[in-house]
Amino acid sequence: MNDPVLYLKQDKIGKTGSKDIIQKYFHLVNQNESEEVTIIDIGCGPGNVTHDTLMPLFKNPIRKVVGIDVTEKTIKFANATYGNEKLSFEVLNIGNVVPEKYISFFDYVFSFSALQWIRDQRQLFLNINKIMKPNGQMLFSFVAQTILYDIFQSVWRRPEYAPYITDFYLAQSIFQKSKEPVKEFRAILENAGFEISMIKLEEINAKNRSLIDFKEFFASLNPYYNKMPDHLKENFMLHHLEQVQRDAEVEGPNNYYMKFNMFVVYAKKK
């Protein structure tokens, strides 16, 4: 994440309905624990969803909530804005080796609109399994397929930008072109040691978006925007907006909408 403040300001495109998904599916989460619980929110971004939406839903006493994200700036913002004695934020890449202190540590794992960034999904879910206690629960959603990734591809592959793109598939779900995403993903989760109670694709529509909304969204979250040299930044942005005009569906002047097919999963560690 490039800019947590801008990301919070434009709460329309990037969050792909984290709050709605939590409100719709949190009832699946079992809260019969008698002891204080431990919770992790993976890819927490600025921390608002962790603090404002997730934590108030817990009836059990909470021992510790950890929000993790790969971007230092975001974690600094989250700690300064929402950190307290129970809730803290850490820079941690869940795709890498998990720290010893978190092995079999968490009762609950949550993650919203983040796990599409990790391309080695097998390793990712083995890692998540490792940090959970036996019978630990996880509820998450992430983008499986969206035209937004095609927009990224069209712009990033232009000859003037391509030399600065280190990974053309960064931030893109490995399921983008899959014909049977649910079947493929189910197999990954089962092989990683999860018992799945719910796995589905849910269509989220980001509606009524102006080009300004898209501009703020790209500036806050596009992984290559900050990495472009200064003389290319403006055009890089303009080319994304041109591509939105070409590819997104239009409902009226300066009024676009974009569909996101999200995985929504509730599962337990076996």
Ligand X SMILES: C[S@@+](CC[C@H](N)C(=O)[O-])C[C@H]1O[C@@H](n2cnc3c(N)ncnc32)[C@H](O)[C@@H]1O
Contacting residue, 29, 90, 95, 178, with ligand X by CB under 6 A: 95
Provide the minimum distance between the beta carbon of 113 and ligand X in the complex, in angstroms, as a whole number: 4
Contacting residue, 60, 71, 81, 88, with ligand X by CB under 6 A: 71
Instruction: Kindly state whether residue 93 participates in binding ligand X, applying the rule CB under 6 A.
Output: yes
Q: Binders of ligand X among 13-32, rule CB under 6 A?
A: 14-15, 18
Distances (CA, A) of 15 to 8, 12, 188, 220: 9, 6, 25, 12
Q: Which is nearer to ligand X, 33 or 58 (CB)?
A: 58
Ramachandran quadrant class, 62 (left: phi over 0; alpha: psi -120 to 50; beta: rest): beta
Q: Which is nearer to ligand X, 48 or 137 (CB)?
A: 48
Residues 6 or more apart whose Cβ sits within 8 Å of residue 230: none
Residues 6 or more apart whose Cβ sits within 8 Å of residue 37: 58, 60, 61, 62, 63, 107, 108
Provide the token pair at 151.
């927009």
Q: Could you give the CA distance from residue 70 to residue 92 in angstroms, rounded to a whole number?
A: 5
| Helical pair 181-191 and 121-131, crossing angle rounded to 10 deg | 40
Window 174-193: contact mask with ligand X (x via CB under 6 A): --------------------
Contacting residue, 42, 189, 228, 248, with ligand X by CB under 6 A: 42
> Residues of 177-190 as b/e, b for ≥16 C-beta within 10 angstroms?
eeeebeeebbebbe
What is the residue type of 128? I
Region from 28-36, 68-76, 146-154, 229-237 binding ligand X, contact rule CB under 6 A: 68-76
Contacting residue, 6, 70, 126, 147, with ligand X by CB under 6 A: 70
Instruction: Kindly state whether residue 113 participates in binding ligand X, applying the rule CB under 6 A.
Output: yes
Region from 58-66, 69-77, 179-187, 250-258 binding ligand X, contact rule CB under 6 A: 69-77
Q: Which is nearer to ligand X, 71 or 153 (CB)?
A: 71
**What's the maximum distance between 2 C-alpha atoms anywhere in the chain?**
59
Residues forming the site for ligand X (CB under 6 A): 1, 14-15, 18, 42-45, 49, 68-71, 74, 93-95, 112-114, 117-118
